[in-house]
Homo-oligomer: A and B are copies of this chain.
Amino acid sequence: MKAFEFLNNEYDGGLTVVLDKGLPPKYVEDYLKVCGDYIDFVKFGWGTSAVIDRDVIIEKIKYYNDWDIKVYPGGTLFEYAYFKNKFDEFLNECNNLGFNAVEISDGSLDISLEERKFAIEKAKDYGFIVLTEVGKKLPEKDKKLTIEDRIKLINYDLDSGADYVIIEGRESGKGIGLFDREGKIKEEELNKLIKNVDVNKVIFEAPNKNQQVGFILKLGSSVNLANIPFDEVISLETLRRGLRGDTFGIM
Residues of chain A whose beta carbon lies under 8 Å from any beta carbon of chain B: 1-4, 6-8, 21-27, 30-31, 33-35, 38, 45-54, 56-57, 76-77, 79-81, 83-84, 86, 89-90, 93, 97, 107-109, 137-138, 170, 231, 233-235, 237-238, 241-246, 248-249
Contacts and interface: CB of A to CB of B under 8 A. Distances in A.
A51 B241 contact: yes
A6 to B, nearest CB: 5
Contacts of A249: 83, 108-109
B234 A22 contact: yes
22 contacts: A1-B54, A2-B52, A2-B53, A3-B50, A3-B93, A4-B50, A4-B93, A6-B93, A7-B47, A7-B86, A22-B233, A25-B33, A27-B31, A34-B52, A45-B235, A46-B243, A76-B245, A80-B243, A80-B248, A108-B245, A109-B249, A138-B245
A31 B107 CA distance: 29
Contacts of A238: 46-48, 50-51
A227 to B, nearest CB: 13
| A interface majority secondary structure | helix
List the 9 closest pairs (A to B, CB-CB), nearest first.
A47-B243, A137-B245, A22-B234, A24-B30, A108-B248, A4-B50, A24-B31, A26-B30, A46-B244
Contacts of A170: 245
A2 B34 contact: no
A114 B191 CA distance: 45
A27 B1 CA distance: 21
Contacts of A246: 137-138
Contacts of A233: 22
A109 B90 CA distance: 53
A1 B237 contact: no
Contacts of A26: 26, 30
